[in-house]
Amino acid sequence: MARRKRETGWPPAPEPLPAPVVDDHTHLESVVGWRADGWDPADAAAHPDLAAHLGRAAAVGVTRMVQVGCDLEAVAWTDAVVREHPALLGAVAIHPNEAVLHAGVREVAPDGLDPDPQPRHDVMLDDALAAVADVARDNPRVRAIGETGLDFFRAGERGRAVQREAFRAHVALAKELGLALQIHDRDAHDEVVDVLRRDGAPERTVFHCFSGGVDLARVCADEGWYCSFAGPVSFPANEDLRAALRVLPASLVLVETDAPYLTVHPFRGRPNAPYLLPGTVRAVAEATGRPLEDVCAQVSDVATRVYGPW
């Protein structure tokens, strides 16, 4: 029997939500640039531009988003685009894996991949961090520093030391400017918590794409740290993640796409965009046993408390 061909294009639009919600974390510069196998380059509908993506999201109830730029090119793109589109606020940082390359570290990490420096990584790490700080200070629509943190899957011993110092610099910047902090945490839960406790977490600290279990969720609940859930909360095998969600008070829960990655079940592996966030919102409602309308209202209220008005 022939294997069924895997679909690669944009998933269909979901049923609209009963009330507006906020996508806490999306990479629209990558969404707009996405090219999936099998698409016809002549088909404009296959490559919607930014305005089309925002309209498609609004049509299903995703009316506001936090656009995250975490490399030098994306930081500049974010700085410009959030000034132009009232549906967007911005977060800027040097991603932990970017920080390693800016620092000149070239080592094979646990992921087994060879380093892949780009021309932008010729900029020294201190200068890259200074560029982030300039954008964050000068643009009132940039409301968060992030994503920053630790990624021990993609960093060896020297890279981890660089990531930790870059993370600390971002924490200090968020506190200096009174901005929220969005954290990237991969295979480094204890170490991330250690930095936050030693240096003092910003008042509004968000674990983007929360990937911990019940123990980390309890730490976040005790500390008052926010947890943002993406498509993996809907994956059938991720019962531990749903158990962590149930530990958290609703006042600390956010939702996100992390687009173009981590597309909600059953479209895993296909490109993601903010219009698909309703699937994650429905997964959160189902996992917690709360009415969908209540979840929509709560996550929107939490996002406004974290980032301020749009």
Q: What is the DSSP letter of 275?
A: G
More confident residue, 112 or 256: 256
Give first-to-last CA distance, the chain, whole Å. Answer: 53
> What is the rounded CA–CA span in Å between residue 71 and residue 91?
11
pLDDT in tens, 12-39: 999 999 999 999 999 999 998 765 444 4
Kindly report which listed range (52-56, 220-224, 245-249) carries the lowest average pLDDT score.
Answer: 52-56
Q: How far are the Cα atoms of 2, 198, 287, 306 from residue 222, in angstroms, in the given order?
A: 52, 16, 21, 17
State mean pLDDT over 126-139.
98
Give the number of residues written for the chain. Answer: 310
> What is the rounded CA–CA span in Å between residue 184 and residue 169?
14
Give bridge partners of residue 151 from the DSSP assignment: 186
Say whether the peptide bond before residue 266 is cis (omega within 30 degrees of 0).
yes
Whether residue 190 is predicted with pLDDT greater than 60 in this model: the reply is: yes
Encoding tokens for residue 21? 């919600």
Spatial strand order in the sheet of 142-151 = 21-26, 62-69, 88-92, 142-151, 180-186, 205-207, 226-229, 253-255
pTM: 0.94
pLDDT value of residue 35: 59
The greatest distance separating any two alpha carbons of the chain, rounded to the nearest whole angstrom, comes to 62
Q: What is the average pLDDT value for the chain, to the nearest integer?
A: 93
> What is the rounded CA–CA span in Å between residue 258 and residue 235?
15
Q: Give 4's pLDDT tier (boundaries 50, 70, 90).
A: low
H/E segment holding residue 84: helix 72-84
> What is the rounded CA–CA span in Å between residue 85 and residue 164?
34
User: How large a percentage of the chain has pLDDT more than 90?
Assistant: 89
Assess contact for 277 and 254: CB atoms under 8 A: no
Question: Distance from CA of residue 283 to its chain's centroid?
Answer: 18
> What is the rounded CA–CA span in Å between residue 276 and residue 203?
30
pLDDT in tens, 277-305: 999 999 999 999 999 999 999 999 999 99
- Which of 177, 189, 260, 198 minimizes the C-alpha distance to 219? 189
H/E segment holding residue 306: helix 292-307
Assess contact for 66 and 25: CB atoms under 8 A: yes
Half-sphere exposure of 148 (CA within 13 A, CB side): 31
pLDDT value of residue 33: 73
> What is the rounded CA–CA span in Å between residue 117 and residue 242?
36
